[in-house]
Amino acid sequence: MNIALISHPVCREHRMGAHHPECPERLSAIQDRLIAAGIEMLLTHYDAPPASIEQIARAHDRVYIEMIQSIAPQVDDVLVWIDGDTAMNHRTLEAALHAAGAAILGVDLVLNGRHHAAFCAIRPPGHHAGRGSGSGFCIFNNVAIAALHALEQHGLQRVAIVDFDVHHGNGTEEIVLNDERILFCSSFQHPFYPGTGADTRAPNVINLPMPGLTNGESFKTAVEAAWLPRLDDFRPQLILISAGFDGHAEDDMAHFNLREADYAWMTRALKRLADQHAQGRIVSCLEGGYALSALGRSVAAHLDVLLGH
């Protein structure tokens, strides 16, 4: 089965300074591994269009969008910091618009029947961006924008967002909280950045806070108990994935002990649900993952399952 790979060259031009872990080399590591694994030739490549302000405003306050537009640098070699670890250079706004546009295009492609699945190789990531704030390397919430596009433009009634990044998707949770059309599942190390999610009580949110050193077996047990039955009962018409691979044992940004096989297992479980309820429709968007070799291998394992292997 052929899937869509959506990206844009400007996503490599967003830079937050030397030695920042969320770097353009992340996309190169993914591309190199997909070529080495023989997967790249099985993908249909698309350049992401920019999202419109109207599409972004489904998830974000217009005051916030206008603030991001107003502070975006206009010249090279200038960084504007929106929080302690999130900066904008002169290409960041453009990259963020195309990152959100990639997620939207992914939804359009799978709902129009062009592909059963899509992977968005994009940066900046999105799941820490809330309605009126960016943080944690994130400017606009790509997955939340995509979910609301699927609901409001395509008329879906039930969309699931599954976030297996090692950090809680606090921005996504803020945007979708108590929206009964969306079931949001987030697994994350706790206590850890951003320090949220462990005490959320909302009918459409299933958070899995787990301790440092969580391994694949513990992760699988928690997902099988908490997520899979609820997702099955919810019967999503589309599954969106916040695909963060920073829980890998080689990634020193956090302290999980997951491996490529664990990401493949998670993807396989979601693919079975998508095949049963959503005509196989999955759109996956890159979030974290900062150990370059581990990131490339994990994305390859993720896409190998989405390809049906």
Taking the C-alpha atoms of residue 24 and residue 31, their distance in angstroms, rounded to an integer, is: 11
pTM: 0.98
* H/E stretch holding 108: helix 92-111
> Does residue 198 contact residue 139 with C-beta atoms inside 8 Å?
no
Look at residue 232 and tell me whether its pLDDT is greater than 70.
yes
Domain range list for the chain:
3-306
Q: How does 238-247 read in b/e, with b if 16+ C-beta sit within 10 Å?
A: bbbbbbbbbb
Cα–Cα separations (whole angstroms), residue 281 to 39, 132, 181? 19, 30, 17
pLDDT of residue 162: 99
Q: Considering the domain delimited by 3-306, tell me its CATH architecture.
A: 3-Layer(aba) Sandwich (3.40)
Q: pLDDT by residue (tens digit) across 62-110?
A: 999 999 999 999 999 999 999 999 999 999 999 999 999 999 999 999 9
Peptide bond into 236 cis (omega under 30): no
Sorted by sequence, the CB contacts under 8 Å of residue 35 that are 6+ apart come out as none
Q: pLDDT by residue (tens digit) across 162-204?
A: 999 999 999 999 999 999 999 999 999 999 999 999 999 999 9
Catalytic residue among 60, 128, 149, 167: 128
pLDDT of residue 1: 65
pLDDT of residue 75: 95
Is residue 20 part of the annotated active site? The answer reads no
Taking the C-alpha atoms of residue 252 and residue 230, their distance in angstroms, rounded to an integer, is: 32
